[in-house]
Amino acid sequence: MPEPAWKLGILTGVAQVLADTQDGLTGTQIGQLLGRLHMEDPAAGVTKWKRLEEAFIRRHNNDGHPQRIITFIQHAMEPANYVNRPELFTLRQDQLNEVLTFVSLRIDEKGVVRPGARSSTLDEASRNATSLRAELRRRGTHDEVLRYCTVELLKKNNFHASLEATKSVFGRVRQLSGLSGDGAALIDAALSLGKSGTPIIAINDLASQTDRDEQTGFANLIKGLAGMFRNPVAHDPRVVRTVTDIQLLELVTTLSMVHRRLDVATVNHPSSTS
C-alpha cells in the first residue's frame, strides 16, 4: 500500500537535499534518474532543486501518493554510488532524515526508505535524525568546531574527529594572536598573564583577582584538553584508543564554550603588551 500523500514542504525539502548546489546530484544525474524512472523532466531553465521539485510535484499529483518519489530517493541513495565518497552518503542521509521524519520515514544504511519516528517540530526532527552530526547541530555547536571536524563526523570516525575538533581551538588562538606556535607553548604565549599581567588574548577585563584566576584557568583548560584528547589521539593507534559518541559530544560541547569565550575576547597585540 502506498504511503499517504506528502505535503509540498516534504517534496521541496527532499528536492533541496538531493539537488543541493554543492553536495547534491548533478544536473546530468538528475536527468538520467528521472528518465530511468519514467518521470516527467521539466528540463532546463530553472535551478536544479526547482527542476527536481517540479518533477516530484507533477508525479505526486498524477499518482496521488509519493511512491515514485521514494523510489527516486532510494536510487539516488544506492550505497554503491558512494564507494569513493562515503561521507557524502552520510551527509545526504542525515539531511533527508531530517525531512522524512515529518512523515514517519527514514533512510537506513542501505539507502532504503523505512518507517521511522515521527517529528512535529524542528527540534524533534534533529533528534530523530539520530546522527552524531545532527545532534551536534541541535546543541548549537560552534561553527569553528564543525568546520574542522565535519568530514570526520560524516565518515563516522570519532577518533580523528576528536583530534580535528581540538585543533580548532589552537587554530583560532593562532589566528587571534598572530602567533605561529602550537601546543602548550602557544597557549602560554597567547593567554598567560606573564610579567606584564596583560595577555595577548584576554577573556575578561582582568580587573580583579577572580578575573585573573579565570584567565589562568581558561588557559589551563585548553592545555588540559590538548593533553586529554589531541596528544593521545595523535600518537596512539586507533585500534588501541576509542572515542565514544558520548565522549565526543562532551568534548565538542566544551570546545564550543572555549570558542564562544574567544568570540568576545579582547586582543592586545604584542607591541602593546611589552
Instruction: Clarify whether residues 109 and 156 are in a common domain.
Output: no
Q: What is the pLDDT of residues 136-187, one digit of tens each?
A: 877 889 999 989 888 888 777 888 889 899 999 999 999 999 998 888 999 9
Specify if 92 maps to a domain.
yes
Specify if 182 maps to a domain.
yes
Specify if 273 maps to a domain.
no
Q: What is the pLDDT of residues 133-143, one digit of tens each?
A: 777 877 889 99
Residue 98 burial (C-beta neighbours within 10 Å; 0-12, 13-18, 19+): buried
pLDDT of residue 128: 62
Instruction: Clarify whether residues 190 and 214 are in a common domain.
Output: yes
Helix %, strand %, coil % for the chain, to 5? 65, 5, 30
Residue 233 has pLDDT above 60, yes or no: no
- 99: closest CA among 82, 79, 115, 119? 119
pLDDT of residue 274: 44
Domain boundary among 78, 104, 130: 130
Specify if 3 maps to a domain.
no
Number of domains the chain is built from: 2
Residue 205 has pLDDT above 80, yes or no: yes
The whole domain housing 156 covers 143-267
pLDDT of residue 237: 54
pLDDT of residue 273: 45
Q: What is the pLDDT of residues 76-132, one digit of tens each?
A: 999 999 988 888 998 899 889 989 999 999 999 899 999 988 888 877 776 666 577
Q: What is the pLDDT of residues 11-20, one digit of tens each?
A: 999 999 999 9
> Could you tell me if 96 and 120 are in contact, meaning their C-beta atoms sit under 8 angstroms apart?
no
Rounded to whole angstroms, the Cα distance separating 52 from 13 reads 11
Instruction: Clarify whether residues 103 and 210 are in a common domain.
Output: no
Average pLDDT, the chain: 88
Lookup: cell for 203: 577573556
Q: What is the pLDDT of residues 253-268, one digit of tens each?
A: 999 999 999 999 999 8
Specify if 187 maps to a domain.
yes
Instruction: Clarify whether residues 121 and 148 are in a common domain.
Output: no
Specify if 272 maps to a domain.
no
Residue 272 has pLDDT above 60, yes or no: no
Domain boundary among 130, 161, 189: 130
Residue 251 has pLDDT above 60, yes or no: yes
Instruction: Clarify whether residues 163 and 67 are in a common domain.
Output: no
- The answer to whether the predicted template modeling score (pTM) of the entire model surpasses 0.85 is no
Contacts of 105 (CB under 8 A, 6+ apart): 3, 70, 113, 114, 115, 116
